[in-house]
Structures are given as structure tokens and as C-alpha cells.
């Protein structure tokens, strides 16, 4: 049994009375690491350490903070391959996708390295003489963060990096399914010279360590909370934050529409739909949930789509680097996904492809080989005959499942796309610029692609949703700075006397009134 890895609190490794194991999602016999399970007192201790570190870190010049994050980017670049392999080993993402997710963190460090020199305020003209008005961005304080397992480096970087560059300190509870990746990631901040306590990491499950961190808002130990995960948990966090007058960052679930209109390039649309549905085994918040297809091309699209789905390669990504997707991240995700097989047929939907869990007795032609019982692997699953009122259409299915929905025309497609409670990502395939314009103007989603997938992000573009997919906050780019700073307005009067704006302001005195009617 390996030595348990302790929490990272105030620059020290802190052990716990209980531990938990992280095992490879693709091979349960592979023990990745043993980790301390945080107690409530240890989570509180991490918040205290972050509060103490805030004094020094917030006073560090912003360009210096940015340069340190640049060093983190350098370390990530150096360790890109080893980190990608660790991501694949621990949570099952393909190596190609894992490398991309590490690159996203590198890009984020690069972007915010330079933002350390651009945390601009403004100078504002005063209505009084001998007075200067200025504004400054100020850090909020201690930020509590909980992140999910499907992007164990990219998504934490979206939160940790901008929080740190703006002068905040952090208490981070990563997913217990990606604890090893989180530990390796955090150690690179330590290597770069981040002061002790500026980034604290507490390990454990959502029901214990995660709940304890949420409780810290009620104890007044946090000034901000950032969360990526389910809408149900996001509502809980939003409620606790609201009663403490905090504005949380909530990046939640999605039931993302991908619309294929009658003039679309079918080959391009099929490729985009397959990747949108099955990348990371459908375990993305931006995964396509409903492919909405215009009636005149529905049959042609479905035939090509099912053909590509039947060719998908599935298996352990470490053993088979050519697979399109790997295992479920954990057993709970698999069981939740398996339940959806009982929804469709009672509502009138048709199972066009898929047979639940992949086993040695029941495997698709694309199974890459090896023992499927070593992890939880799911058949790529396609439903047809799905209507907007059905549970399959409405609820997020976190796994390799997609609905193909027939509509007639662009307006019906937009109506169907908006007929869910979520509003994270969306896509439309069309060569008609008017239809593309109508779609991007009327779709209820925080992100839209035209002739591209529902998945994917770039470090300098805002990421986030509307409706049940979030609370209007955004990750990435300059927009995220609003979430980790507040504006301070400074009124600097050098007149040496009391000046009362609005009450003593001397505007130009008007001359005699002019009768416009008499001029002509």
C-alpha cells in the first residue's frame, strides 16, 4: 500500500485519520494513489491558512503574480505528456483529449500571465475642480472551489489561475476521481514559487470534504465560491452563497442541441455530431444531448450517422491509443447512465443502437480488446423517435447517448433546441447565412458554434451558460476577471476645502432664453 498523500494546507502536508483510494477508471486493479480524506476541521484549517496568505499575496504586484503563473505554464508544458498520461490513467480520457486538456491549462497560464500587466482601472473626470476620480480592481479574498473529474486540469486552471492573478487565495476541493491529477497540478504551483497558503488543496468526496467547504460560507471564511458540476448541487451552493451575499461562479449541466439544417454539408455535420455526442464518452457538460435534424435530410443523416457510430473504437485509452472514447469515470456515473435505458421505450422512443454495458458477451464491433470488466464501458447509444416532451429529450444523460430528433425547418429546429431547461452550448450546421444568423440570435445558450461541434473551448473566449446551466457568470478570457475582483472607486480631492458634488457643482450659466419660433 503506497503512503497516503496528505492535504496541501499552508505549505504543509496534512494527514487525516481516514483515507480513500483512487483507481484507474479503465483498469480497477491499477491503484493510482491513496489520499487523505478531509475532516471539517482540516477544511477550516485550509481556509484559515488561505486567509493568512491573502495578506502577502494580495500585496504582491500583479505583474509579479502574472510572471509566477507564467512559470506554472512553463512547468505544465514540460510535463504535458506525463500529465496527459496521468489524466488518461486516472479518469479515462483518451490521450489525444488529455493532451488537449493540459494544453488548455497552458494556454490559460499564458493568457493570464499577461493579464497581470493589464488589470486596468480607469481615470474618470470629476465635475468638481482639483479632484481626481479613479477605479481599481481589488481581490475578493479567499475563494472556495470544487471541480469535476471530466476535465481535471483544464477546468481547475480556469478558476485557480484568474483567482490567483487577481490577488485572491484559494481552497480547492478537486474531484475524488482525479485526486492524483490534482495533486500533480498543485505541486507545479509550489514549484513555481507560489507562497505557502495561497493555494490549499483538500481531498475527499463531495458529501464530506465538498460539503464542509460549502459550510465555510456560513462560517464567514470564504469571500467567493466557484463550482463546476451538476445543476442540483449548483442550486445548493447558490442558496448558501445567496444568504451570505456572495456571488458564486456556477458552471453546471447541459442538454445541448446540435441542429442540422437541410442545406448542411452532411459529412461535416455527421463528424461534428459524432464527436459532440461521444467525446470523453459523453461525459462533458457540453456534450450534445439532442441532434435535431431537418426533415428533408433526416433519413440520409441518420444512415450516415449510425454508420459512423458503429465504427467507433472503444476501450482502455492507455492500452489502445486509437480509441474514440474510454470508460466511465466511475461506477456511479455508469449506473446513472444505465438507468436511462428504461426511459425511452415507455415514452415511445426507439432504441436504434446500443446495448448498455459492454461485456465480453456483448461488445460492439469497435471494441478494442481486453477485458471490459476491468472498468465500466458503455455501448454508444442512439435513440430515434424522440420528442421534446420526453424525458430522454429533457434530462442530461451523462454518458455515450444521443437522441436524433426530426423537425421541419429552421424555426421548428430553434424551438426544439430551446425546449429544455438548460442553456449551455449549442451548434448549427447550415450554409445559409440567414439561418445561421437566426439561430445564433434566438438560441438560448451561452455558447454557439456554426458548422462546428457543441464541445470545445479556448482560453480567451467566455465559457458558461444560461437557464439551468449556470448563473450568468463566465469562465476564461477577460470576462472571468469580474468574478474574482470588485471595483473600488477612489475620490481624491486636492482642493483643500469641502467640495459637495451635485450641490455645489458650477455648470455654465445659460444666457437669455431663445424663442426658436421667432428665428424663422
pLDDT reading at 477 higher than 90: yes
For range 468-474, the mean pLDDT: 96
> Across all residues in the chain, what is the average pLDDT?
96
Reduced to 3 states (helix: H, G, I; strand: E, B; else coil), residue 505 is coil
Q: CA-CA-CA-CA torsion for 317, 71, 190, 58, nearest 10 degrees?
A: -130
Q: According to the model, what pLDDT value does residue 229 have?
A: 96
Q: How confident is the model at residue 71 (pLDDT cuts 50, 70, 90)?
A: very high
Q: How confident is the model at residue 138 (pLDDT cuts 50, 70, 90)?
A: very high
Pairing of strands 401-407, 381-384: parallel
pLDDT reading at 515 higher than 90: no
The answer to whether 36 touches 66, Cβ cutoff 8 Å, is no
The full set of domains in the chain, from first to last, is 7-252+473-486 (3.40.605.10), 256-460 (3.40.309.10)
Q: CA-CA-CA-CA torsion for 503, 509, 515, 520, nearest 10 degrees?
A: -130
Q: How confident is the model at residue 143 (pLDDT cuts 50, 70, 90)?
A: very high
Provide the 8-state DSSP code for 244.
Answer: T
Q: How confident is the model at residue 520 (pLDDT cuts 50, 70, 90)?
A: confident
Rounded to an integer, what distance in angstroms lies between the CA atom of residue 98 and that of residue 78? 15
- Residues acting as catalytic residues: 251, 285
pLDDT in tens, 109-127: 999 999 999 999 999 999 9
Cβ neighbourhood burial of 412 (10 Å; 0-12, 13-18, 19+): middle
pLDDT in tens, 318-364: 999 999 999 999 999 999 999 999 999 999 999 999 999 999 999 99
> What is the per-residue burial (b if ≥16 Cβ within 10 Å, else e) of 161-174?
bbbbbbbbbbbbbb
Q: According to the model, what pLDDT value does residue 68 have?
A: 98
pLDDT reading at 368 higher than 80: yes
- Residue matched to cell numbers 466511475: 330
250: phi then psi, degrees, rounded to nearest 5: -125, 110
Rounded to an integer, what distance in angstroms lies between the CA atom of residue 250 and that of residue 124? 33
Reduced to 3 states (helix: H, G, I; strand: E, B; else coil), residue 294 is strand
What do you get for the CA distance between the two ends of the chain, in Å?
Answer: 98
The answer to whether 178 touches 20, Cβ cutoff 8 Å, is no
pLDDT reading at 518 higher than 80: no
> The whole model's pTM is what?
0.95
Amino acid at each position: 500500500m503506497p503512503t497516503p498523500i496528505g492535504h496541501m494546507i499552508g505549505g504543509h502536508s496534512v494527514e487525516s485519520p481516514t483515507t480513500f483510494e483512487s483507481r484507474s477508471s479503465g483498469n480497477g486493479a491499477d491503484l493510482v494513489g491513496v489520499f487523505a480524506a478531509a475532516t471539517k476541521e482540516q477544511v477550516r484549517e485550509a481556509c484559515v491558512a488561505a486567509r493568512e496568505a491573502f495578506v502577502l499575496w494580495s500585496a504582491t504586484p500583479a505583474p509579479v503574480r502574472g510572471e509566477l503563473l507564467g512559470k506554472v505554464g512553463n512547468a505544465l508544458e514540460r510535463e504535458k505528456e506525463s500529465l496527459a498520461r496521468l489524466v488518461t490513467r486516472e479518469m479515462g480520457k483518451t490521450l489525444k483529449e488529455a493532451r488537449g486538456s493540459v494544453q488548455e491549462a497552458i494556454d490559460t497560464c499564458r493568457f493570464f500571465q499577461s493579464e497581470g500587466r493589464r488589470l486596468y482601472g480607469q481615470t474618470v473626470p470629476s465635475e468638481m475642480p482639483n479632484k481626481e476620480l479613479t477605479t481599481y480592481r481589488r481581490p475578493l479574498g479567499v475563494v472556495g472551489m470544487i471541480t469535476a473529474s471530466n476535465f481535471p486540469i483544464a477546468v481547475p486552471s480556469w478558476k485557480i489561475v484568474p483567482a490567483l492573478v487577481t490577488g485572491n487565495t484559494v481552497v480547492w476541493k478537486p474531484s475524488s476521481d482525479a485526486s492524483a491529477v490534482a495533486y500533480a497540478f498543485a505541486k507545479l504551483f509550489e514549484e513555481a514559487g507560489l507562497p505557502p497558503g495561497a493555494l490549499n488543496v483538500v481531498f475527499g468526496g463531495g458529501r464530506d470534504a465538498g460539503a464542509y467547504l460549502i459550510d465555510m460560507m456560513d462560517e464567514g471564511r470564504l469571500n467567493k465560491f466557484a463550482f463546476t458540476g451538476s445543476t442540483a448541487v449548483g442550486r445548493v451552493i447558490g442558496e448558501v452563497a445567496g444568504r451570505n451575499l456572495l456571488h458564486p461562479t456556477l458552471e453546471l449541466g447541459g442538454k445541448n442541441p446540435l441542429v442540422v439544417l437541410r442545406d448542411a454539408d452532411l459529412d461535416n455535420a455527421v463528424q461534428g455530431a459524432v464527436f459532440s455526442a461521444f467525446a470523453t464518452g459523453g461525459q462533458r457538460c457540453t456534450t450534445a444531448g439532442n441532434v435535431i435534424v431537418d426533415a428533408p435530410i433526416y433519413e440520409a443523416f441518420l444512415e450516415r450517422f449510425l454508420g459512423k457510430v458503429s465504427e467507433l473504437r472503444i476501450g482502455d485509452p492507455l492500452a489502445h491509443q486509437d480509441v474514440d472514447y474510454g470508460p466511465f469515470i466511475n461506477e456511479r456515473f455508469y449506473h446513472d447512465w444505465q438507468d436511462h435505458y428504461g426511459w425511452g421505450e415507455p415514452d415511445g422512443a426507439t432504441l436504434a443502437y446500443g446495448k448498455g454495458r459492454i461485456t465480453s458477451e456483448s461488445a460492439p464491433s469497435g471494441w478494442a480488446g481486453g477485458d471490459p470488466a476491468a472498468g465500466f464501458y458503455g455501448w454508444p447509444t442512439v435513440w430515434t423517435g424522440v420528442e421534446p416532451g420526453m424525458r430522454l429529450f429533457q434530462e442530461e444523460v451523462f454518458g455515450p447517448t444521443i437522441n436524433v430528433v426530426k423537425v421541419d425547418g429552421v424555426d421548428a429546429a430553434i424551438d426544439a433546441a430551446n425546449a429544455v431547461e438548460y442553456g449551455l452550448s449549442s451548434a448549427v450546421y447550415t450554409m445559409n447565412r440567414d439561418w445561421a444568423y437566426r439561430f445564433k440570435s434566438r438560441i438560448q445558450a451561452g455558447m454557439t458554434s456554426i458548422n462546428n461541434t457543441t464541445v470545445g473551448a479556448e482560453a480567451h473566449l467566455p465559457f458558461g451558460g444560461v437557464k439551468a446551466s449556470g448563473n450568468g457568470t463566465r469562465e476564461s478570457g477577460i470576462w472571468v476577471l469580474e468574478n474574482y475582483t470588485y471595483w473600488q472607486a477612489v475620490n481624491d480631492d486636492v482642493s483643500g476645502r469641502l467640495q459637495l458634488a451635485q450641490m455645489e457643482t458650477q455648470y455654465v450659466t445659460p444666457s437669455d432664453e431663445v424663442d426658436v419660433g421667432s428665428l424663422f
